[in-house]
Amino acid sequence: MSAQNLVARAQRWSKEQPWRLFGSQISVLVRNEVRRNLLTRRRIWIYLLALVPVLIILTHVIIDRHELAAPAQIETDTQVLAGIVQLYYFRLGIFFACMAIFTWLFRGEMVERTLHYQFLVPVRREVLVIGKFLSGVIIAIAVFETAVLGCFCLMYSRFGLAGKSYVFDGPGLSQLGSYVLVTALACLGYGAVFLALSLLFKNPIVPGVVLMGWEAIAPIFPAWAQRLSVTFYLKHLCPVSLPIVGPLAIFTIVAEPVAPFIAVLGLLCLTIAVLALSCFLIHRMEITYTAE
Amino acid sequence: MTPDARKIVFENVSKFYGEVLGVNKVNFSLEPGITSLVGPNGSGKTTLMNLLTGLIRPSHGAIYVLGLTPRQPIEFFRQVGFCTQFDSFPPGTNGYDFIYWPLRLHGFGSHQAAKLTNEALDRAGMAQVAQRKVAGYSKGMRQRIRLAQAIAHHPSVLVLDEPLNGLDPMARAESISLFETIAKQGMHVIISSHILEEVDRISDRVVLMSSGYVVAEGAIREVRKEVRDHPMQILVRCSNAARLAAAAFELDHVVEAKILNDGHGVLVRTRDAEQFYLLLNKIVSDGLVEVDAVAPADDDVNSIYQYLIGSDSGPA
C-alpha cells in the first residue's frame, strides 16, 4: 500500500471512529511517557523517597530477627505501619513524588523546549492531558504501591506464623487492600492537583508548598473546610486511625467521619474536576520558550 | 466569510507579547507553491509561523489553513507539518523513535507508522543513522531529522523555519530539491530563510517582513514592480553598447544607462521597464544593435530586500 493510501486510510478511520482514535492516542501517549519517564536517572530520588521506609523496616527485620513475636507487638507494629502510610507516604512521600512527576509532565517539557512536538500532532489537547495524567498515575502507583506492599510484607513477615495468621486469618489482608486503594487514590488526587498547578503557574513549587501547608493545618479548620483537602478523604479510608498527638491536638476539630464510598467518590470527583480545569487551561497554553 | 479550502489566509492578524509587538495587522492569502518569509532578526517571521501552526494564538484576527484552524487539531495537523527552529529533542530519543511515535499519534498502526517512518528517513537521507541517539547528531543531521518528522505524514502544508541552517551544500541542494518536489505536487511550502540566493531560486512568491509588519507580499517580479522608488535595472548584452545607451537616454523614464567595462553591454536603470523593452525591440528590428542577452538585474529577493528593508540589520 502506498504512503498516500496509508494516510487516506488513517484519515478515514479517525473520522469514522473518533473515540477509537482518542483511545489509541491515549494508549500511545501513556506507553511513550511511561517508557521515557519510569526508569530514568532523574527519578532516582523518587524511588529513594518511596523505598526509605522499606529499607528502615528491612534493617529492623534483620537486626530483630531473633525477637519473639507477640500479639501485642503485632498491634504496635500495625500502628507503626499506619503511621508510615498516613504520616510519611501521604504527607511527604506521595506528595513530593506527585509534585515532581506531575508538574514535570508539561512544565518539564516547556523547560526542555520539547512541548511543541506534542502540540504539533493531530491530538486534541484534552487527550494530551488525559494521556499524560494517566502515565503519571501509572508511574506513581507503580512506585508507591510497590513500596507500601514492601512495607506491609516486611512488617508482618518477621512475626512468622503469628504474622501469617494476622494477615490471612485476621484483619491483615483487608488492611492491605485499604492501603492499596488509598495509595492509588492519593496518587490520583495529588497528581490531578499538581498537573493543574503546573498549567496555572510557571513555578508550581510555591503553590505546591502552600498546598502542603494547607494539608497539614486543615484538621484545625471547620469540618466543611477540611473536606477541601485530599488528606481528609484519605484519612477516612485508612483502616487504622492514628491518635492525634502534639501541639496541634488541642486545636484539632474532629470532623464527622464520611462513609468510605463517599470518600472514594469525593476524591474521584475532585480528581475529575481538577482534570477538567487542566483541560481548560491547556487550551490557553502557548509555546513561548523564551518567556519561561 | 467561508475560508478558502485551498489557501492559507491571514485576516488582520496581530500578536502582542504583553506590550511587545510580534506582528501587526497581517493580511494576505497564499496559493499553493513555495512562499518565502524574508526579514531581519525580530521582524516577526517565526511569530508568523508559530501563529500559522497554532503554537501561539493571535491577539486579534483569524488564520485559516486550507479552511481549517488549529482549534480542529485532528484535521489541522494531518494537513500541516512544521519543522521548527527549536534545536531541542526529547531526551534519550533516537532518530527512528522521533518520527515513529508522532506517527502513532496520527492513528497509524505500528506497521503503517514503521513504513512511513522509513520512507521519511529515506527522503531526508537519514536512514543510515536512524538508530543513533539524536543527542549525538551533528547540527545538519538534527535539522534533517526534524525535516523528516515534518514530512513523514505527507502534509499538504509544510512550514519550515530556517530549514537550510546548518546543512552542508550537498544536503542543502537535496533539501531544496525536496521542497520543489513537494511544491510541484500542489502543496504549500512556507520557508523562512536568510539565504536569499536560494530563497530567490526556489520561491514562487515572497513575504517581506520588517518590525512585525508585512512590507510587501506577492510574486517576486510583481513585488519588484511595486517598488517605484528604485528604478528597475536591466542588463543588455549587445554589439553596439554606445548606440543603445544613446537611444535609451532619449527616453524620459531612463535615469541611467551605463556601458559595461568590456564595452559589450549596457546596464539601464528605468522607471518603466515595459517602455524600455519596446524601444529595445525597435532598435533590434531596425538592425542598429545585435542583442545577445537581456535580463533584469534586480528583480530578485536580495534586491527587493535591500530596497524595502535596507541592509542595516541584514536578513535572518
Domains of chain B and CATH, by start: 8-225 (3.40.50.300), 231-297 (3.30.70.100)
Q: Show the cell assigned to B215.
A: 512590507
C-alpha count within 13 angstroms, C-beta hemisphere, residue A255: 20
Residue of chain A whose Cα is closest to the Cα of B153: A7
Chain centre to alpha carbon of residue A57: 22
Selected for mutation to probe chain A from B16, B69, B74, B84 (highest A CB count within 10 Å) is: B74
Closest to B301 (Cα-Cα) out of B283, B286, B315: B315
Query: In the predicted model, is pLDDT for residue A71 greater than 80?
Result: no
Burial of A260 (0-12, 13-18, 19+ CB in 10 A): middle
Query: In the predicted model, is pLDDT for residue B295 greater than 80?
Result: yes
Average pLDDT over chain A reads 87
Query: In the predicted model, is pLDDT for residue A69 greater than 70?
Result: no
For range A239-262, the mean pLDDT: 75
Q: How many CB pairs under 8 A join A and B?
A: 94
Chain centre to alpha carbon of residue A40: 18
Of the pLDDT bands very low, low, confident and very high (cuts 50, 70, 90), residue B35 is very high
Residues of chain A with Cβ-Cβ distance to B154 below 8 Å are 3-4, 7
Chain A interface includes B89 (CB < 8 A): yes
Contact B107 A25 (CB under 8 A): yes
Of the pLDDT bands very low, low, confident and very high (cuts 50, 70, 90), residue B239 is confident
Could you count the other beta carbons within 10 Å of the beta carbon of residue A244?
Answer: 12
Q: Cβ neighbours of residue B291 under 8 Å, at least 6 residues apart?
A: B236, B237, B238, B239, B280, B284
Please, where are the H alpha helices in chain B? 45-52, 73-79, 95-105, 110-123, 139-151, 169-184, 196-202, 220-226, 241-249, 273-285, 301-308
Q: Are B183 and B156 in contact (CB under 8 A)?
A: no
Least confident of A202-206, B96-100, B228-232: B228-232
Query: In the predicted model, is pLDDT for residue B219 greater than 50?
Result: yes
Work out whether the CA dihedral B304, B309, B314, B316 comes out positive or negative: negative
Return the exposure string of A30-61: e unless at least 16 CB atoms fall within 10 Å of the residue's CB, then b. bebbbebbeeeeebeebeebbbebbeebbebe
Closest to A181 (Cα-Cα) out of A230, A145, A225, A228: A145
Residues B124-147: tens digit of each pLDDT = 889 999 999 999 999 889 999 999
Distance between CA B65 and CA B82 in Å, rounded? Answer: 13
What local confidence, expressed as pLDDT, does residue A49 receive? 92
Contact A7 B56 (CB under 8 A): no
Q: Show the cell assigned to A44.
A: 532516582
What local confidence, expressed as pLDDT, does residue A66 receive? 59
Q: Show the cell assigned to A110.
A: 516547556
For range A83-105, the mean pLDDT: 92
Residues of chain B with Cβ-Cβ distance to A13 below 8 Å are 107
Residues of chain A with Cβ-Cβ distance to B86 below 8 Å are 113, 116, 289
Contact A286 B57 (CB under 8 A): yes
C-alpha count within 13 angstroms, C-beta hemisphere, residue A71: 3
Contact A116 B90 (CB under 8 A): no
What local confidence, expressed as pLDDT, does residue B51 receive? 96
Distance between CA B46 and CA B43 in Å, rounded? Answer: 8
Closest to B92 (Cα-Cα) out of B132, B52, B33, B45: B132
| DSSP for A89-130, written as a single string | IIIIIHHHHHHHHHHIIIIIHHHTT-HHHHHTSS--HHHHHH
Residues of chain B with Cβ-Cβ distance to A117 below 8 Å are 90, 102
- Residue B102: which of A3, A4, A121 has the nearest Cβ? A121
Contact B116 A125 (CB under 8 A): no
Average pLDDT over chain B reads 87
For range B193-198, the mean pLDDT: 74
Closest to A190 (Cα-Cα) out of A87, A96, A260: A96
Chain centre to alpha carbon of residue A129: 16
- Residue B74: which of A14, A36, A288 has the nearest Cβ? A14
SS3 of chain B: helix, strand, coil, percent, to 5: 40, 30, 35
What local confidence, expressed as pLDDT, does residue B313 receive? 45
